Structure 1
Amino acid sequence: MKKLKKYTEKPVIGPIIKRVIDFGINREVKTVARHFSKYLHPLVAETPELSKESFKIRHDVYCEELGFLNTSDNGFERDEFDNYSTHCLIQHIPSLQFAGTVRVVRPETAKHSLPLQTYCADSIAKDKINPADFAPYEICEISRLAVPKGFRKRHTDKFEGAATAVINKEIYSENELRCFPFIAVGLYLSAASIVLENNIKHTFVMMEPRLARSMGFIGIKFEKIGPTVDYHGKRAPYYINPSLLMESLTPGFQVMLKEIRKSLKHKE
């Protein structure tokens, strides 16, 4: 009896399904990006009043909620790096409340350093890229990202009573609720816009490895440059540059970055 040839051709259903899923995800992200621009407004803290809003959010999150830093009598959290940082806020348009903040620490002279260099220099592996290898104006660090509790709740949470830290579905629309998980992403993309606008070549950040993995899913691929250490929780040093960002950022989030750059009045 003649033997049948074994079928060795690779099935194509897997890649097809992946393309379909990717298409669906990108379409969903583009939809969220449009909603993001409708309900949330990124802005640079260019006035003392806006800077105070940033310091207040940081105090609420880092000092009172998480207990990573000591509380202050004035309700603001700030340090020496704020003197040469660009601060960014995201404002919820309907309520005018601020939904998050982040800063980009930008050294100007050799006397300035990054928080990473000051507190976690030993966490950078010797064979990895190091901020000390570059001129001060070529480097920056994204830090103090903070999102208030009320804007971290998902629409699946139960609303009981009038707790101020919970999003009341009677107040916020479904489209607004879909944007809230993207506030942290919006803050990172706002920081990226600041980096691109100022032609900063090398960006460093201390972050939780699970957050770095989450950012990787959307195409913000940070390179881990050292082991995880205990610094405001379990964190590790990471690196990214504009080329790595733009090469890997998924199409949906490219739309979101474009909208954020427009909102911040940064050139494309």
Structure 2
Amino acid sequence: MSEYFDFKKVELDDPLIEEVYRLRYKVYCDEWGFERPEDHPEGVEKDEYDDYSLHYVAIAKRDAQVIGTIRLILASPYGFPIEQHCTIDVDRSHIDPGCLAEVSRLAISKDYRRRASDNLLYEGHELPDQESRRLAIERRKADNEIVLGLYMCVFRECMQRPGIHIYMAMARGLHLLLKRVGFFFDPAGPEIDYHGLRAPYLTSFQSIRDRLAEVNPEYARLCAGVTSAH
């Protein structure tokens, strides 16, 4: 799937799941301040939804470090985080509650991005502006590749779950990135200020898949794991 990253599902009994929670702590507590460190004294960011979720990671091939993660929350006795924090004003009466899921806890290590670019520096010498801009572009490309690779994992999981509907709370930048490749999501309520400005979305996976196939058929085949004939 990627020259630089491996993407995989992490089971709850896999020791790697601790790396997921530690990365989330680093991103959500240390880097962004979205969560309070005192609420997670063991240095792991974990909540009541994790035991009802499927977890995915991005692993850097260079050093086998977990540098990205995302989760898909399935039906849980707690409902969904988005229902607690956002106003959902679309009709959901036609959706089987067991077919609802939420994509959340996307996290990518800033430290990885710094280290990746540091490998290109010349023994600490300051780079000219043109080189700095090039590095910024390379960082953004790496970020996007990680994000899209993680969402591709979720896409493939949803292919195995007929009738599933996906909740997401997204910042505008993430929404635009996904839209640019062909992932379209339907607004489900007003934008709120929660971990920054976020808007809720609720979309049937079939709709996501159909629209992706229409606007970006090659990427749709890639997401589905179908290799193009040569």
TM-score where L is the length of structure 2: 0.78
CA 180–212 in structure 1, closer or farther in 2 if over 3 Å, else same: closer
Deviation at 1:152, TM superposition (A): 4.3
Letter of the aligned partner of 2:25 in structure 1?
H
Q: Which amino acid letter does the alignment assign opposite residue 124 of structure 1? A: I
Q: d(CA) in 2 for partners of 1:93 and 1:86?
A: 22
Letter in 1 for 2:107: A
1:216 matched to 2:174? The reply is no
2:94 and 2:82 mapped to 1: Cα distance? 14
8 A contact 2:163–2:206 mirrored in 1? no
Q: Is the 8 A contact 2:25 2:44 kept in 1?
A: yes
Percent identity over the alignment? 27
Q: Which has the higher contact order (CA 8 A, sep 6+)?
A: 1
Is 1:145 equivalent to 2:106 in the alignment?
Answer: yes
The AA in structure 2 aligned to 1:183 is I
TM-score (norm 1): 0.68
CA distance in 2, matches of 1:181, 1:243: 24
- Give the superposition deviation at 1:256: 3.6
What is residue 258 of structure 1 aligned with on the other side? 224
Cross-structure match for 2:191 = 228
After superposing the two structures, state which structure 1 stretch, 145-154 or 210-219, moved more. 145-154
Contact 1:114 1:141 survives alignment (8 Å)? yes
Residue 58, structure 1, aligned to residue 24, structure 2: yes
Question: Is the partner of 1:146 in helix, strand or coil?
Answer: strand
The answer to whether the 8 A contact 1:137-1:200 is kept is no
Checking the alignment, whether the CA contact within 8 Å between 2:117 and 2:139 is kept in structure 1 is no
1:49 aligns with 2:15: yes
- Written as runs of structure 1 = structure 2, the 5 A alignment for 1:157-236 is 159=121, 178-236=141-199
Report the CA distance shift for 1:192/1:200 in structure 2 as closer, same or farther (over 3 A): farther
Deviation per residue, 1:159-181 (Å, 9 max, x gap): 4867xxxxxxxxxxxx9995443
**Letter of the structure 2 residue corresponding to residue 224 of structure 1:** P
Q: Deviations over 1:161-218 (max 9, x none)?
A: 67xxxxxxxxxxxx99954431111111211222222335200001102321221111
CA distance in 1, matches of 2:140, 2:84: 38
Contact 1:207/1:236 (<8 A) preserved: yes
Out of 55, 59, 79, the residue aligned to residue 47 of structure 2 is 79
Q: Which moved more, 1:228-237 or 1:206-215?
A: 206-215
Q: 1:209 to 1:176 in 2, by over 3 A?
A: closer
CA contact (8 A) 1:223 1:238 kept: yes
User: Partners of 2:159 and 2:106 in 1: how far apart?
Assistant: 18
Q: Deviations over 1:55-100 (max 9, x none)?
A: 1111000111000101122110011111211111111122101120
Give a deviation string over 1:224-263, Cα, whole Å, max 9, x none.
Answer: 111110111100101222222222221342244134x99x
**1:86-97 maps to which residues of 2 (within 5 A)?**
86-97=54-65
Equivalenced residues, count: 208
Secondary structure of the corresponding residue to residue 16 of structure 2? helix
Aligned partners of 1:184, 1:161: CA distance in 2, in Å?
Answer: 30
Secondary structure of 1:225 counterpart: coil
Summarize the Cα distance change of 1:45–1:60 in structure 2 as closer, same or farther, 3 Å threshold. same
Q: Secondary structure at the match of 2:72?
A: strand
- SS of aligned partner of 1:223: coil
For 1:136, the equivalent position in structure 2 comes to: 97
Taking the aligned partners of 1:255 and 1:179, their CA distance within structure 2 comes to 22
1:106 aligned residue (64, 74, 78): 74
Gaps of 5+ in 1: 1-33, 163-174, 263-268
Identify unmatched segments of 5+ residues in structure 2. Answer: 125-137
How far 1:141 moved relative to its partner?
Answer: 0.2
**Given the alignment of the two structures, is residue 117 of structure 1 paired with residue 78 of structure 2, yes or no?**
no
Q: C-alpha root-mean-square deviation of aligned residues, in Å?
A: 3.0
